[in-house]
Amino acid sequence: MVNKEAWEELTAEFAQKGVTLVAVSKTKPVADVVELYQLGQRVFGENYVQELVEKQAELPADIQWNFIGHLQTNKVKYIAPFVSLIHTVDSFKLLAEINKQAQKCDRTIHVLLQVYIAAEDTKFGLDQQELTALLDEYHKKKNELQNIRICGLMGMATNTENETQIRTEFANLHQLFNSTKSVHFADDATFATCSMGMSSDYKIAIEAGSNMVRIGSLLFGSRVTV
């Protein structure tokens, strides 16, 4: 069972604000994805490669699958034929592998670089120095990386009740997004996505400048496992 009212409200609000809704369907059955699809939702997010591959095979081809989980290099090949956007690139090695697999499929894969903004050590992502190093390497080897497009940044705030902390973390990410845009992608209009915010903190994220939110439990109900 999906929460249709929540979907309708979020969709209306986000259309007005220019925010893309990624409906996070991890651990939820195909039937739930179909329900939202029938309402008009096309962008869905998944965290696990095998689950994504299985769902993609069963569901309509015009779904834009977003990969939002930690991605191992050796698993890229399974999602490369169809994935629309990968949010979680956290190394040059992974970026190069996505390019290689995209090339094999004769595709261009859009990616976001995942930045570590939380005060927890359980979350993946690049710190500022690593981000800069990755981008320097990317620009040096850009000619060999024709099958990927870096479209922006993604980050997750600390899982806390402290709104001030969440606000500060999102503000930091948005500032980093702006500076990265002006330093590295000033003449590249595809670098335009700042993916931040989930069910519990999307309002704060949008106030801080997010234009892509990843929402699961608010649409699909709570999950037994994360």
* β-pair partners for 85: 66, 110
For ligand PLP, the closer of residues 165 and 217 by Cβ is: 217
Residue nearest to ligand PLP (CB): 216
Phi and psi (nearest 5°) for 209?
110, 10
* Run of H or E including 148: strand 148-156
Cβ at position 170, least distance to ligand PLP in Å: 13
Phi and psi (nearest 5°) for 200?
-80, -20
For ligand PLP, the closer of residues 145 and 205 by Cβ is: 205
The binding site for ligand PLP (CB under 6 A) comprises: 24, 26, 47, 68, 156, 198-200, 214-218
For ligand PLP, the closer of residues 152 and 216 by Cβ is: 216
Residue labelled with tokens 């503000």: 171
Cβ at position 80, least distance to ligand PLP in Å: 20
- In one letter, which amino acid is 173? L
Cβ at position 189, least distance to ligand PLP in Å: 25
What gap in Å lies between CA 201 and CA 88, rounded to an integer? 19
Cβ at position 26, least distance to ligand PLP in Å: 6
What gap in Å lies between CA 25 and CA 143, rounded to an integer? 36
For ligand PLP, the closer of residues 86 and 98 by Cβ is: 86
Cβ at position 187, least distance to ligand PLP in Å: 30
Cβ-proximal residues to 2 (8 Å cutoff; 6+ apart), any chain: 32, 35, 36, 219, 220, 221
| 75, two tokens | 């698993």
Cβ at position 202, least distance to ligand PLP in Å: 8
- In one letter, which amino acid is 64? Q
For ligand PLP, the closer of residues 118 and 145 by Cβ is: 118
CB atoms within 10 A of CB 27: 16
Closest CA to 69 of 114, 103, 99: 114
For ligand PLP, the closer of residues 46 and 97 by Cβ is: 46
